[in-house]
């Protein structure tokens, strides 16, 4: 188990067709981690590469804007509030998974969480939940996991008017898509707005960001990230070719926290169990996002 002093010294970091996805996963999987059975998926609106390009664009834009804009102005416009500045409860970790549900991928994550005896929070896209209600039901069946609202179709809230933002939030709640067990919302791409914040709070939601961004989308099939994306993601130089160490060292540096991952990116699926085991070995304990100890980290 790593001591507190050791942790401090160490902290000085879309969907694709099933056949293609699991072939890619096999290339990055640890030898002891077997890939799940192939599962059918619907035709994606975007390929994984296209979705990765969109995320990359938002990451770089966020970085440029934050460097060029005064913090007071950013707060006034509510644009980038998903990176949590409130310290997490010491040595507690909450795992969250965005952009599902996905046949095969969701099942695989649930199997790992069950094997490790921990809970997870799944921020689901409404139109996917509507297409795969059996997966949403499976997430909820154990009583250990939470489903949250990740909008109806995963748009960039900075690029759509307030009326459309409202529709994206409220349509998720309609009977056609399974609503969240807890009123938790995570912005697509982390791009928030004052108007949506007001609506969410009026409807009793807590807005959930993250302390640790795994940047699973930015690491390639070999577990490496290029220099520019490493800066955007806060990946230490020594971890540019080690996705697991990036996640573990960033959790260590924060002394815990809410971890952002995605169901749709192979590195998370391939390395999830290894990350959990490593964190357990370092003395971290896993909690649910809605546990009282994480309440100060939610908005």
80: domain CATH number is 3.20.20.370
Give the domain extent around 43: 4-297
Candidate list 98, 99, 213, 216, residue with the active-site label? 98
Its pTM stands at 0.81
* Residue 58 annotated to the active site: no
| Number of domains present in the structure of the chain | 1
Question: What is the structure's pLDDT at 13?
Answer: 37
Q: Is 132 a catalytic residue?
A: no
Tell me if 232 sits within 8 A of 64, measured CB to CB: no
Exactly one of 59, 211, 254, 262 is catalytic; which is it? 262
- What's the CA gap between 109 and 269, in Å, rounded? 7
Distance CA 51, CA 91 (A): 33
Segment 232-282, tens digit of pLDDT: 899 999 999 999 999 999 999 999 999 999 998 989 999 999 999 999 999
Average pLDDT over residues 141-150: 93
* Cβ-based neighbour number of residue 102 at 10 Å: 29
Exposed e or buried b for every residue in 277-299, given b needs 16+ CB within 10 A? ebbbebebebbbbbeeebeebbb
Tens-digit pLDDT profile for residues 112-121: 999 999 999 9
């Amino acid at each position: 188990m790593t001591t507190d002093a050791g942790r401090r010294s160490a902290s000085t970091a879309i969907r694709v067709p099933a056949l293609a996805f699991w072939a890619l996963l096999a290339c990055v999987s640890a030898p002891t981690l077997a890939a799940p059975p192939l599962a059918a998926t619907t035709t994606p609106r975007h390929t994984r590469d296209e979705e990765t390009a969109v995320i990359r664009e938002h990451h770089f834009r966020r970085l440029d804007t934050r460097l060029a804009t005064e913090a007071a102005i950013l707060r006034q416009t509510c644009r980038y509030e998903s990176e949590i500045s409130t310290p997490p409860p010491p040595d507690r970790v909450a795992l969250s998974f965005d952009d599902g549900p996905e046949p095969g991928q969701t099942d695989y994550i649930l199997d790992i969480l069950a094997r490790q005896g921990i809970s997870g929070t799944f921020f689901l896209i409404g139109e996917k939940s509507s297409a795969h209600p059996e997966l949403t039901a499976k997430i909820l069946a154990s009583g250990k996991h939470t489903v949250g609202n990740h909008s109806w179709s995963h748009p960039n809230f900075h690029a759509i008017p307030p009326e459309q933002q409202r529709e994206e939030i409220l349509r998720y709640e309609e009977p056609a898509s399974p609503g969240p067990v807890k009123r938790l919302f995570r912005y697509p791409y982390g791009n928030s707005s004052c108007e949506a914040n007001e609506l969410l709070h009026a409807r009793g939601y807590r807005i959930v960001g993250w302390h640790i961004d795994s940047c699973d989308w930015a690491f390639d099939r070999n577990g490496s990230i290029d220099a520019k994306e490493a800066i955007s993601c806060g990946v230490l130089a020594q971890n540019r070719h080690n996705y697991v160490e990036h996640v573990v060292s960033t959790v260590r540096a924060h002394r815990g926290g809410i971890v952002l991952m995605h169901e749709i990116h192979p590195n998370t699926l391939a390395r999830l169990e290894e990350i959990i085991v490593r964190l357990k070995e370092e003395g971290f304990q896993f909690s649910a996002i809605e546990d009282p100890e994480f309440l100060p980290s939610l908005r």
